[in-house]
Structure 1
Amino acid sequence: MLDPNHHQGKFGHDYIRVLASAAGLLWSTDDVDVDGVDLCIKQPGRTPHGFGPAIAVQIKTVSRPKWRGGKLIFPGLNHTQFNCLAGDDFQIPRYLFAVHVPRTSAQFVESTTGALELRHAGYFLSLRDRKRFAVDDASRKVSVQIPLSNVLDVESLRALVIGPPR
């Protein structure tokens, strides 16, 4: 059995993989995480917006979320992780995906006849408009606020991947 922290993190990654599969998108991982990307998600083939549009995502989980003013307050990024997402100089758009998961693994899913429910919800945030920290300091944390309207579902994930026409 995985320890609770690894179990929670794995469930968050699998939550996003299931969502991408439901959206008809492909996902992949790099063989080594050297630049803060957990998953790449893409639309295969040619689209009205170009060939093979894709996004890169960093996935974090939270089991004891803090909500304020219609936002999820996520304190779980260190400066190095933040710097891997911030700025507008990436070839492939990058997003933070924060998955609100239950406190115990026994509550991650509910299975009934004809349904499998994954709990609870995922949210997305672009840090494209934020400036990077001058120094990558993995020991310093930064909080980000994710609007609750940024819910990850099939439609919003497709929209993030396909994006505006080029």
Structure 2
Amino acid sequence: MLEALNHQGKFGEDYVRALASAAGLLTYDFDLDHDGIDLGIRFPGRLHGVASPGVEVQIKSSSQSRIKPSASEWNFTGLNEVQFNRLAGDDFTVPRLLILVRVPAESSAYVEFRTEGMLLRHLAYYCSLRDEKPIERPDRNRRRSVRVPTANVLTIRSLLDLVRAVQQPARSSA
């Protein structure tokens, strides 16, 4: 059996994969988590003049007791400065997002089986750090707080909208 934090992290990634699958999107893994990305998510085909638009995501999971809610956002402190920099800024070829999957404190409550199907707990939220400035001298030992809007619930519709929002690349006039 997986150690508790690895179990929680794997569940968080599989939660996002299940949503992408339900949305009809493709997911892909990187052979090494060297660039701070856990999962790539793509539209299978062309959309608005873009071939295979997609996003890349860093997935973090947290039990309710490990993040502080306010009325409109989660204050997530689970990124160190190096991880933050791998998501911050607007100079990535493929848009990057942070996905926060809230999970129960007990792994036995991750899923519930009902007559009508299986229920995954709890919810996932997303945010872009595109408008954030990367930290000049990042330190793995320092944490960087990120505010994740509670309105940004990751659903089939919102995931499709995030992938569809990818803009057509500028064509060079050679």
Residue 30 of structure 2 is aligned to residue 12 of structure 1 = no
Query: Following the alignment from structure 2 to structure 1, what is the Cα–Cα distance between the partners of residues 49 and 105?
Result: 40
Identity of aligned residues (%): 48
* CA positional deviation for 1:138: 0.8
Deviations along 1:48-84, one digit per CA (max 9) or x if unpaired, are 2511001000000110231113111101000000000
Q: Secondary structure at the match of 1:32?
A: coil
Match of 2:72 among 70, 73, 79: 70
Q: Secondary structure at the match of 1:87?
A: coil
* CA positional deviation for 1:44: 0.7
Q: How does 1:25-40 map to 2 (within 5 A)?
A: 25-40=25-40
Query: Following the alignment from structure 1 to structure 2, what is the Cα–Cα distance between the partners of residues 20 and 159?
Result: 12
Structure 2 contact 9–61 (Cα < 8 Å) conserved: yes
Query: Following the alignment from structure 1 to structure 2, what is the Cα–Cα distance between the partners of residues 49 and 114?
Result: 39
Structure 1 match to 2:41: 41
Structure 2 match to 1:81: 83
Query: Following the alignment from structure 1 to structure 2, what is the Cα–Cα distance between the partners of residues 85 and 79?
Result: 10
Query: Following the alignment from structure 2 to structure 1, what is the Cα–Cα distance between the partners of residues 147 and 61?
Result: 14
Query: Which stretches in structure 2 are left out of the alignment for 5+ residues?
Result: 169-174
Taking only aligned residues, the RMSD between alpha carbons, in angstroms, comes to 1.0
Q: Secondary structure at the match of 1:151?
A: coil
Structure 2 match to 1:163: 165
- Alignment size in residue pairs: 166
Which structure is larger by alpha-carbon Rg, 1 or 2?
A: 2
Structure 1 match to 2:100: 98
Deviations along 1:84-121, one digit per CA (max 9) or x if unpaired, are 00000000000000000000100000011231000000
Structure 2 match to 1:114: 116
Query: Following the alignment from structure 1 to structure 2, what is the Cα–Cα distance between the partners of residues 41 and 99?
Result: 16
Query: Following the alignment from structure 2 to structure 1, what is the Cα–Cα distance between the partners of residues 62 and 53?
Result: 28
* CA positional deviation for 1:33: 1.1
Deviations along 1:25-61, one digit per CA (max 9) or x if unpaired, are 0000110111100000000111125110010000001
Q: Secondary structure at the match of 1:111?
A: strand
Residue 146 of structure 2 is aligned to residue 144 of structure 1 = yes
* CA positional deviation for 1:164: 5.5
User: Which of structure 1's runs of 4+ aligned residues deviate more than 3 A?
Assistant: none
Structure 1 contact 49–162 (Cα < 8 Å) conserved: no
Query: Which stretches in structure 1 are left out of the alignment for 5+ residues?
Result: none
Aligned amino acid, residue 30 of structure 1: F
Structure 1 contact 57–95 (Cα < 8 Å) conserved: yes
Q: Secondary structure at the match of 1:152?
A: coil
* CA positional deviation for 1:135: 1.4
